[in-house]
Amino acid sequence: QVQLVDSGGGLVQAGGSLRLSCAASGRTFSSYAMSWFRQAPGKEREFVAAISWGGGRTYYADSVKGRFTISRDNIKSTVYLQMNSLKPEDTAIYFCAACASTMYGSRRQNDYDYWGQGTQVTVSS
């Protein structure tokens, strides 16, 4: 079992930065690929970024590539999302998620086993 608690959201001006954190319970954190998804009001939840079990591979949605960086600390059982050059279109609730079925995670939300409660990111223009 894994419990995820995500945090770090807030209100920021366009062009600014935020760093999200997702803290996982248990000692099996390194066996899960980790990802971030987001959901804007009235829209479907969409994939943002993923990182492999050991952190050696990352991949991103095209919309955030070059601006966001996902990382993980398996000692602290925490995954991060550093968000730079934020745009109003980034406004959404951000969710961290854990996937045990593949080393590299997935872009499909149904592949994930555990989810955080979400943290709100609002980017003003």
Consecutive sets of 10 residues in the chain, 125 residues long: mean pLDDT of each? Answer: 93 98 84 95 96 92 98 92 98 96 90 96 97
Say how far apart CA 82 and CA 118 lie, in whole Å.
Answer: 16
Helix, strand, coil share of the chain (percent; to 5): 5, 45, 45
> What pLDDT score was predicted for residue 27?
63
